[in-house]
Structure 1
Amino acid sequence: MRESEIESRLRAEAKKMGGMAVKFVSPGLNGVPDRIVLLPGRKIAFVELKAPGKKPRPLQVKRMRKLKSLGFPVYVIDGVEQIGGVLDEICAT
């Protein structure tokens, strides 16, 4: 399965829940997570998507660590089977 397929499924599942998984692009700041997930009830999290078995690059790890230190939830998803659990966890926070 390709990363783009996982990303597409994340968008669809967030939409089913009444939310959005918007593309996160930050000019001048490389390594940010791929998506910002916004769910009802002011729930927000950052999600980095990877092809199955792939790991974030060192710069991505650094950016995710910074976001976590600011108090934001950050997830790495490398398979469609993880999407439901991640979205449930975001809702529970």
Structure 2
Amino acid sequence: MQERHIEARLKKETERLGGIALKLVCPGMAGVPDRLVLLPGGVALFAELKAPGKKPRPLQIKRKKQLERLGFKVYVIDSYKGIEAFLREVSG
């Protein structure tokens, strides 16, 4: 399974819950998470998506820690089951 399949599923499942999963592209700042997930009730989270078994690169880990220091939750998801667990945690 490729990362793009996991990303597409996250987008679809987020929309099913009434939210949106925005693709992040930040010129001049590499390593930002792939998606900004916005859910009803003003919930904002970041998701870094990986192919199964793949791990974030060092720069991605650095950005994750920066965002967490600012008070944001950042999730690393590498499977459909990971998407289900993520959405269960953040929507309920």
**Percent identical:** 57
Whole-angstrom CA distance in 2 between matches of 1:29 and 1:52: 25
Please give the residue correspondences for 1:48-59 in structure 2 after superposition, counting only pairs within 5 Å: 48-59=48-59
**What TM-score, normalized to structure 2?**
0.97
Equivalent in the alignment of 1:90:
90
Q: CA RMSD in A?
A: 0.8
Q: Which amino acid in 2 is paired with 1:84?
A: E
Please give the residue correspondences for 1:22-33 in structure 2 after superposition, counting only pairs within 5 Å: 22-33=22-33
Consecutive unaligned residues of structure 1, counting only runs of 5 or more, are none
Shift of 1:4: 0.2
Equivalent in the alignment of 1:45:
45
Consecutive unaligned residues of structure 2, counting only runs of 5 or more, are none
- Say whether 1:5 aligns with 2:15: no
Quick check: 1:44–1:90 contact (8 Å CA) kept in 2?
no
Equivalent in the alignment of 2:21:
21
Shift of 1:90: 2.0
Whole-angstrom CA distance in 2 between matches of 1:66 and 1:90: 20
**What TM-score, normalized to structure 1?**
0.96
Instruction: Report the count of equivalent residues.
Output: 92
Any runs of at least 4 consecutive aligned residues in structure 1 with deviations exceeding 6 A, and if so which? none
